[in-house]
A and B are shown apart, each in its own frame.
Chain A
């Protein structure tokens, strides 16, 4: 309903006649009915955020409660002027871009398979989705063992890698191992979202393109992908935001060694390991803001009006 009104307003249409007394009464009742749920949601979601915002203004260590002092925005300045923060941001963005790019291509291929397959449909769909059912920590351990030079199989499978190559000895190879685990685990999620988009592409249009003599590639580029734009955007948005918060795989596979830390991991260390609630809260607020920035960039990049996308869906 909101989207319809918004679209009408955007299109410059005059709003409809004033609503009747009855519908206004219904609206009031609706508000009253949702009020408790709304209040609960605010308590559950807004309270921790406001609390983090408040704590971020203090120099505050959990183990030195008496030393707590108000320092304004100094924690933000400390974080933003520290090379460690920017190194971890670059690491996080790199992981996000690379994993989402791989997942988009592989996930799309899987979605096509799931969409087209005729026999053993259930079995194939289920087997493609299995990795997503595996807990991230478990998949992290599995891939850590796989990449181990002592008892893993990756080195023996890759002809250009020596059998005693230690993947976790330095930054780039450690990041490759972390990203491999991440891609393996979440590609099924991507393909599931893309499958939903694929199902929306009208068979009539494809048929028409075929009749007009379009090749398979032309049908893909001119018909399928443009019609899936909203679905692709949703898939990329969800996965990118998820990838930006990457934590578990890093925690399990390297524990942040060799500069493989992400922003979430840095925040975790300040709060949970170092008990620095002030700077840790400032980092989590920065993390929250950067997630908003990522979401904004992706929505702008795909030039999709979310309201339109929802209406189409």
Chain B
């Protein structure tokens, strides 16, 4: 009997404690609101500091971490927003997900004065294009990413390549193959492979989908089956059959070719990769995978993304992060204010200097802090690349488009003249909902 009473008392206490905690969780209406900011794992330290410094007397910004893979980040945010989650206030979005989310009306557009603040003339064109949808500004560019051609100056010199002039993929592949070097790309079956294919096609003056109709979603016109598509396939085919292809060519990613720049033996490589590469090697001086000394780092060269077709200007890939505000946020005004703060020029300077995440604002490239942290010509190359880069298809169906392209262009060793035709047929079937992915 006593035991039973004790149990009853314990259960009662537990229930009371539970209801108290539930009440406490539900409450908070009277206190200072908390804005949740879902970030991806890049540059966490600086983002945490930004969350703190952008918190005001009206609200506190709290960081929530998303998974590391872009697909998982997208899925998690989409599931929250599809369920009209009011606790998703701010989110760091990969530019390719912005059209999808905006089309589903999950992002709160910036209007009036705020719109002019997040997208003024200072924002680089390539970065600015990623945040508009349906004539509205649906996100704020926070940092911009772009690819350039990284290479060993000694290797280019041995091949007799004048790197002050634009180079083509053909030249780069031949130069590497004839001089014991390699060419590093991203050719695993994942989204970054589509980044490469897209840049190759755009560099030849074409597009995966007709840019005029791309926003029409399912009704977009497929234009991958074109001369530009064939030119792109020819580059991949050439590299696949060349001595310059790296051993893990068909599973290569952003990280795998880093070690080929300063190998134990060999001439090094030409590599198309994102902006983080400079900081990466700068931090690896004297360490495995990095240059032996400061002079070794000086052998690292950079040039504009290679041309697909000689004489036709290349279209470097654009990446980065845009800050979106959840359409179901309980504090939309505060959240938009916070978005403006975390994308300000000051915030972008900190991200660039501390984390190597490059600004989307032109003025920041000219700041003293950045000039101190990076070589001047590299900064100029980055800002030029972001400004003249080519976006990936801006579609609410981007994820399907990307998977469909991967399905027909992978493995890169099997790419040939018929690949653009085959992928066009499959892409049309996918867009019209007539095939499974």
Contact = CB atoms under 8 A, between A and B. Distances in A.
Interface of A: 59, 61-67, 71, 74-75, 78-79, 82, 84-85, 257, 266, 269-270, 272-276, 278-279
Contact of B397 (A64, A74, A269, A279): A64
Closest 9 CB pairs of A and B: A63-B100, A63-B104, A82-B436, A84-B436, A64-B396, A63-B396, A59-B433, A64-B217, A63-B103
A55 B356 CA distance: 46
Contact of A278 (B71, B433, B434, B435): B433
Interface centre among A78, A266, A272 (most CB of B within 10 A): A78
Nearest to B99: A63
Interface in B408-437: 433-437
A266 B399 contact: no
Contacts of B78: 62-63, 275
A279 B218 CA distance: 15
Interface of B: 71, 75, 78-79, 82, 100-101, 103-105, 189, 217-218, 396-397, 399-400, 403, 433-437
Contacts of B435: 78, 82, 84
A278 B400 CA distance: 14
Given A63-B103, A64-B397, A65-B104, A270 B75 contact: no
A59 to B, nearest CB: 5
A62 B104 contact: yes
B75 A272 contact: yes
Interface centre among B105, B400, B433, B435 (most CB of A within 10 A): B433
A75 to B, nearest CB: 8
Given A270-B437, A272-B75, A64 B399 contact: no
Given A61-B397, A62-B82, A269 B437 contact: yes
A7 B413 CA distance: 66
Contacts of B217: 64, 67
A273 B71 contact: yes
Given A63-B101, A64-B104, A274 B82 contact: no
A207 B436 CA distance: 59
Contacts of B399: 273-275
Chain B residues touching A, majority SS: helix
A58 B1 CA distance: 62
B210 to A, nearest CB: 18
Nearest to A88: B436
Nearest to A84: B436
B104 A274 contact: no
Contacts of A59: 218, 433
A276 B434 CA distance: 12
Contacts of B403: 274
Contacts of A257: 189
Contacts of B105: 65
A276 to B, nearest CB: 8
A249 B349 CA distance: 44
A99 B128 CA distance: 54
Contacts of B189: 257
Greatest chain B CB density within 10 A among A59, A64, A78 is at: A64
Contact of B434 (A78, A270, A274): A78
Nearest to A169: B251
Nearest to A83: B436
B436 A79 contact: yes
Given A64-B396, A67-B217, A266 B436 contact: yes
A115 B399 CA distance: 54
Contacts of A71: 433
A298 B211 CA distance: 54
Contacts of A63: 78, 100-101, 103-104, 396-397
A27 B104 CA distance: 51
A71 B434 CA distance: 11
A136 to B, nearest CB: 19
Given A272-B75, A273-B75, A61 B396 contact: yes
17 contacts: A61-B396, A62-B104, A63-B78, A64-B104, A64-B217, A64-B396, A64-B397, A66-B103, A78-B434, A82-B436, A85-B436, A257-B189, A274-B400, A274-B437, A275-B399, A276-B400, A278-B433
